[in-house]
Amino acid sequence: MSKAQILASPDEAVRVVKDGDTVLVGGFGFAGMPFDLIDALIRHGAGDLTIVSNNAGNGEVGLAALLKAGQVRKVVCSFPRQVDSYVFDDLYRRGEIELDVVPQGNLAERMRAAGAGIGAFYCPTGVGTPLAEGKETRTIDGRDYVLEYPIRGDVALITAHTADTMGNLVYRKTARNFGPVMATAAATTVVQVSSVVDAGQLDPEAVVTPGIYVDRVVKVEPRHYTVQGAR
C-alpha cells in the first residue's frame, strides 16, 4: 500500500466507491460521523451499497441522508432503532432495506479481525441468544463461545481530528469510536479531518492510526450535530 494522498475535495476522495461495495462508516450517532464524505458519496451516486456502522442514521443528515437517497441495500449495525432513526425505520418497515444486527463489540472485533488477518475467532458474546443461532459453537475451558467471522470493507469512510502528510491520524474524544478499527479493515480508507499538518508535526507517540492504514485524506470544516431527544 502506498503513501496516503491528500486530496482537495471530498468528492475526489470518495470516487473510489463502486456500486455494490461494502462501506464501513465511522461514527457513533453523530460523534465522528464523516458528514462531508457521506454527502460526497450521495453526489457520487454509487448504489446497492452495504453499510457497516454502529447505527442506521439519525435525523436526516449523514448516514440517514444516504439511506434516504436510496443508495443502500443493507445495513450491518448494532443499534438501528433510536429516537430519531425514522428514515431507517420507514425503509425497514416497507421492506426496502436489509438489516443485520450485530452486537456492538462483535462489530468492532470482527472488523479488527479483518484488519489483523484473523480468519475467525471464538467469542462468548451472544451465546444462547437468537444472534448466535446457526453459528458454530465450541466449549473452551468450560466456557461456551460462538465462532465469528471478519467483516471487511471495500472502503472505509471515517473522521479523524488531524492527519499529517504521511496519513498518520489522531482523533478527538469519543469521536474516535470505530475509526481506528475501520481504518484497518477496508481495502481503501478515506478520512476526513479538521486539519492536515506536515510530517513531523504529530508526536509519533501520540499517533493512534499509523499512516499505513490510510489511503485518502481530505480536510473539511467540521460540522456538528446533536442527537435530538437523546437520553
Neighbours of 41 (CB within 10 A): 27
Among 21, 22, 30, 64, binds other proteins (CB under 8 A): 30
Alpha-carbon span 45 to 202, nearest angstrom: 35
Interface with other proteins includes 176 (CB under 8 A)?
Answer: yes
Single residue of 175, 190, 214, 220 touching other proteins by CB under 8 A: 175
Alpha helices in the chain (DSSP H): 10-13, 35-44, 63-68, 86-93, 104-116, 179-185
CA atoms within 13 A on the CB side of 55: 24
Closest CA to 188 of 166, 168, 206, 214: 214
For residue 222, what is its C-alpha cell?
A: 467540521
**Residue 35 sits in the site that holds other proteins (CB under 8 A):** no
Q: Which of 21, 36, 109, 148 binds other proteins (CB under 8 A)?
A: 109
Give the three cell numbers for residue 50: 452495504
Q: Does 129 help bind other proteins (rule: CB under 8 A)?
A: yes
User: Does residue 101 touch other proteins according to CB under 8 A?
Assistant: yes
Q: Which of 131, 187, 197, 212 binds other proteins (CB under 8 A)?
A: 131
Handedness of CA 34, 37, 43, 47 (dihedral sign): negative
Contacts to other proteins from residues 63-92, by CB under 8 A: 78-82, 89, 92
Minimum CB distance to other proteins smaller for 21 or for 148: 148
Choice from 15, 135, 172, 212 touching other proteins (CB under 8 A): 172
Q: Which positions from 139 through 168 interact with other proteins, judged by CB under 8 A? A: none
224, HSE (Cβ side, Cα atoms, 13 Å): 6
Residue whose grid cell is 507517540:
205
> Which of residues 46 and 145 has its CB atom nearest to other proteins in the complex?
145
Rounded to the nearest whole angstrom, what is the least distance from the CB of residue 18 to other proteins in the complex?
Answer: 26
The contact set with other proteins (CB under 8 A) reads: 28-32, 54, 58, 78-82, 89, 92-93, 99, 101-109, 111-112, 123-131, 171-181, 208, 224-227, 230-231
